[in-house]
Amino acid sequence: MNTLRFIAVRLVQAIPVLLGVSIITFTLMAATPGDPIRLLVGDRATPETIAIIRNRYGLDEPILVQYFTYLKNLLTGDLGASLRYRLPVSQLIAQHYPVTLFLVLYTIVLTLPPVIVLSVWSAKRQNGLADQVIRLLGVLGLAVPVFWLALLFARFFGVTLGWFPVSGFGETMSDHFVHLFLPALSTMIWVVPILVRTLRSALLDELNRDYVLTGKSKGLGDRQIFRTHVFPNSVLPTLNLFAVIVAYLLGGSVIVETVYAVPGMGKLMVDSILARDYFVVQGATLVFALTTILVMLAVDLLSALIDPRVTP
């Protein structure tokens, strides 16, 4: 019952967050220079044509009226229609969101094994050669911009060697893995050092706890203590940071999807911003915000599952 109440409270708390996101996004898009109707119809359109189209989409109303109309439609599940694609925003999101979700999950799958291996290896050899090398590589990974790394990988592995495609998503599941390997790898190299530093620090803190010495005095082996006590207790702070990283991956998809021309939400948002396609940008931003909230909620529940002392 406590868990259900916690979920209900968090979902209710998400309402003002989504409302704030909608207000900020709507205000920023309205303040962006450029006329979306002019971009849509071109320079040869007559003023009468522009006025008709602007009236059709409600863009001739005052800003407050436009926002409350948008909010009223949003409450009924209507995200509006795209000015550029002439399709409902919900349909565009349904087409592009699975691609971004696949990319994020793919990046997570590639990230977790090296994070666990490098963190454990570094913590067990504190201040040794391996630890110093891992920390140095971590600093280098954080210093390299994601977009530069993505361009470098696309040029070397895609164009020069021809091992991987540098655009698109593919048709079959195997094509998806091949097409998104370089985008996922580019993002993973930036994410791994952050999680390794956090998990390594947590492991070192736990290894110095009194219960480790107590367990050894009772005859427990180092591996058993590490596997059953040290590692589970160290995962929690890293797991909370991981939720933030997932939010970054959603936002970072804008970069890698643009570089590799992946037809996901990030690419859709960039194209829509350039075209001043208000409704698509607002809808995509709300979807990103809602996904982040749900990920945070899932991490809180998972933390409580790992450690019962953490009650939701």
Q: Given this model, what pLDDT does residue 35 score?
A: 66
Q: How far apart are CA 43 and CA 277, in angstroms?
A: 17
Model confidence at 92: pLDDT above 80: yes
Nearest to 191 by CA among 127, 259, 122, 250: 250
Which sequence spans correspond to the domains of the chain? Answer: 89-306
Average of pLDDT values for 105-111?
Answer: 87
- HEC per residue, 213-233: HHHHHCCCCHHHHHHHHHHHH
Model confidence at 312: pLDDT above 60: no
Strand positions, DSSP E, the chain: none
What's the whole-model pTM score?
A: 0.80
The tokens for 170 are 């593919």
Q: Under 8 Å CB-to-CB from 293, ≥6 apart: which residues?
A: 10, 14, 17, 18
Give per-residue pLDDT as tens, 225-255.
Answer: 777 777 777 777 777 777 777 777 777 777 7
Residue 88: DSSP 8-state: B
Q: Given this model, what pLDDT does residue 132 score?
A: 77
The tokens for 111 are 């990230």
The tokens for 122 are 């570094």
Give per-residue pLDDT as tens, 34-52.
Answer: 666 766 666 676 777 777 7
Q: Which CATH number fits domain 89-306: 1.10.10.10, 1.10.3720.10, 1.20.120.80, 3.90.1150.10?
A: 1.10.3720.10
- Residue 81 pairs with which residues in a beta bridge? 88
Q: What is the CA radius of gyration of the chain?
A: 24
On the CB side of 106, how many CA atoms lie within 13 Å of its CA? 22
